Structure 1
């Protein structure tokens, strides 16, 4: 007698929220790129290109960016404290890296990175971050309002878990948006309430659009709990003006919305007439502390440092009652604590070497070299896209991305339909197969219906940009010719 074996966990039985959520940055295009990379490794020369270039993901060190020396020196000493007892250490490490490592080690449980920390993070490290926030904003920060997390993503999940009770709770979210938000809102059972950024206005945020979306949500029985703002923007690269930020804060105050400020690209601003201003600074300069609730997210993965694999970040709470903060702390405690190496790097990023310290000159030169190069790469790619038929690309003011719009021919759109693909995904897949360049379809971030985009990072090594531009232009010309209406 034979039995038909069935899966222990059939896909039909899993949480439908898991099946419904999507994360385009590591979606099918990325998976196909991984398969092509394996093919190239097994059969060199099997494709019309010799390498896969991943500029789908904000992952700087994967594309050759070097770590900041001071950060890694301090981390190395903290990870292996025995180095502090060696006479050779003073020859290899700067004096301020040694003193900072000793200070950090004194705050760690058991003076070891291998021990659990407080669930909010090591108190001494939170104090260092609070000092850095105060220096940035000109207003004090309370270490007890800071939660160190395994990257900003973990903090976003924690707050959405707190705010969302059911599908009747909505979160205002920009479109285009970093798909973490749409995926997390889906996973936690809420409803994404989209507001569209204005592409014609360099991806500006228009308050009348927000009011219209709030009205729409309420008419449909959705209670909007919070508003996500990404500044500088991902995937769009805009940097909000101070006046626009003030409008957003006032809207959140009037409507009773929690402001979720994704500020992980705060160091990445490339145009002289723009500067990053934190939402905390906007709030503190004009409102009482209890008038507005805000959560600010920061990450060690972005900026000029790009420590993605270390998984560090934090959130700072502003304007939350103590009983609510107690609930957030309870959620943080379920995960015990974030990783200590990421916590250390978060403290260093918010408290880098100061003028007069031994490491400052090297630190400053490394930081400026990275940011200046990113600015040049952004401009080169922006100019390249704007020179291509049917493509328009807004200026990259900050962050790490461009989000060009592509006017696809009708024949290409029909070909995509026949292939059961979204048109911009069809374009991105064809680009990958022809050139080895990995982009993300704009449909993975959301876009105005009937428009098509792709998202690119500006992270490939500067020396490779001319070759990338050449590949892009040659492919695009061939694609447009093939599907010419």
Structure 2
């Protein structure tokens, strides 16, 4: 073998092509055909394959491709992609709340506690949080339910919000955003096979987290429709219809409410909430109250009422029996701190054995991000009027919310000036969900391309204007109606430009397909 190698080297040094040498020990192994993949679309978990999440779906992928083309210098009829598909406040230019960032910064780098640049009320909160962390470090695991003092602060916040209705820190679970809490409680609720599979009632239009989680858990999605003609109101008669129909093929036992609404922006009246609670009590349904937009109420005729508060005010027959899980988050409101992934879930009337099972399940993921827990603490324990940071905090908070209220009104007014677009009042949250008229010729064209008509519309809007919105079919809508969801978060002037671009596009679209 060594002689063969030496001869090859000599040939190469002389500039000759190497001679062929054979050796039984040096023979290359036979090339085997590639092994079949273990994980394929056919072999993967079918429940995961069935999951869809329109907010980050195909149209967002296309928006990313267009962005890369712009960066490469490819000419377009626009200079940037405006991603109005998702409620990401800071990505749209909203500035962080100073006090929140100060407390989290102090917790993250405690050496700053000696700096005179930070106010004392922020230092007090940071020290309290750190003292509850292992090793007084944000880098340590917390208890599975979350840092104890933060759960205590959440409980006190709920009591203040609800006018003294008691809250027990032991019923508080800090979560990785509200989404984590919603998915966790659904995981415990879902069971059964065939016609006994758990039915989960969700509003249509809905936030796609719900349909995705239901699909992943192999539960049954039970749609109840909001009334678009009456500002997306919830009608208990529609709940009854959906429930009775679902009983034929499932075991409905969960009722999800989003208030204020996403994507629809409606704010439920107190009377409506009472009717929903009575319905859940009568039919034996577990209530999920998604209340992450509770700070985002713009209409002067509307007020946020928590399901928990109304439940208690309806008396012990309801408050001692109706099982309720409610959710809040750092991602929305005036904070917009989506990236911290902070949130909480409060559970009521959960059987002690079930609560133990919930804690066990959550312990598998150890704990939610502790930095997100610290951010949640500032949301529920903000500066008070007697503290140094209060004037700046309240000014920043009110500036964000008043600007959002202005943009909500502006969006409604400008959309309703466009022929073929109808937009309900944006009472709360941070989205518009206008209805758009799509001509029959455009519907036929979409069918040729095997696309939903509103997907075809939104894809054309993106390609011609650079505006990325989400088709209503990703949220659910009544047959024969078409919508899209867009956030109202862009700065006012950019929002005006966006709305004018949508108007111009829509008129061209109607002319092309009329």
TM range (shorter): over 0.9
Q: Could you say what secondary structure the match of 1:12 adopts?
A: coil
Larger Rg: 2
The aligned counterpart of 2:139 is 114
For the pair 1:209 / 2:235, whether they are aligned, the reply is: no
For the pair 1:153 / 2:182, whether they are aligned, the reply is: no
The aligned counterpart of 1:269 is 297
Deviation at 1:2, TM superposition (A): 5.5
Structure 1, gaps ≥5 residues long: none
TM-score w.r.t. the length of structure 1 is: 0.97
The aligned counterpart of 2:282 is 254
Q: Could you say what secondary structure the match of 1:149 adopts?
A: strand
The aligned counterpart of 2:188 is 162
Deviation at 1:350, TM superposition (A): 1.2
Q: Could you say what secondary structure the match of 1:11 adopts?
A: coil
Q: Could you say what secondary structure the match of 1:170 adopts?
A: strand
The aligned counterpart of 1:141 is 167
Cα separation, 2, equivalents of 1:395 and 1:182: 25
Cα separation, 2, equivalents of 1:191 and 1:166: 10
Cα separation, 2, equivalents of 1:41 and 1:68: 32
Residues 221-370 of structure 1 correspond to what in structure 2 (within 5 A)?
Answer: 222-288=250-316, 289-370=319-400
For the pair 1:199 / 2:265, whether they are aligned, the reply is: no
Deviation at 1:10, TM superposition (A): 1.6
Contact kept in structure 2, 1:33 and 1:438, CA below 8 Å? yes
For the pair 1:389 / 2:419, whether they are aligned, the reply is: yes
Deviation at 1:287, TM superposition (A): 3.0
The aligned counterpart of 1:128 is 153
Deviations 1:244-274 (A, max 9, x none): 0000000011111111000000000001111
Deviation at 1:236, TM superposition (A): 0.1
Deviation at 1:348, TM superposition (A): 1.0
Contact kept in structure 2, 1:290 and 1:320, CA below 8 Å? no
Q: Could you say what secondary structure the match of 2:366 adopts?
A: coil
The aligned counterpart of 1:176 is 205
Cα separation, 1, equivalents of 2:419 and 2:192: 46
The aligned counterpart of 1:428 is 458
Q: Could you say what secondary structure the match of 1:219 adopts?
A: coil
C-alpha RMSD of the superposition: 1.1
Of 82, 91, 98, the match for 1:69: 98
Deviation at 1:38, TM superposition (A): 1.1
Cα separation, 1, equivalents of 2:355 and 2:467: 45
Deviations 1:64-93 (A, max 9, x none): 1111000000000000001113xxx22x21
Contact kept in structure 2, 1:166 and 1:189, CA below 8 Å? no
The count of residues paired between Structure 1 and Structure 2 equals 478
Cα separation, 2, equivalents of 1:2 and 1:48: 52
Contact kept in structure 2, 1:119 and 1:333, CA below 8 Å? yes
Q: Could you say what secondary structure the match of 1:236 adopts?
A: coil
Cα separation, 2, equivalents of 1:155 and 1:97: 28
For the pair 1:31 / 2:56, whether they are aligned, the reply is: no
The aligned counterpart of 1:482 is 512
Q: Which moved more, 1:2-11 or 1:260-269?
A: 2-11
Cα separation, 2, equivalents of 1:408 and 1:315: 41
Q: Could you say what secondary structure the match of 1:434 adopts?
A: helix
Q: Which moved more, 1:163-172 or 1:434-443?
A: 163-172
| Structure 1: 4+ residue segments shifted above 2 A | 4-8, 287-290
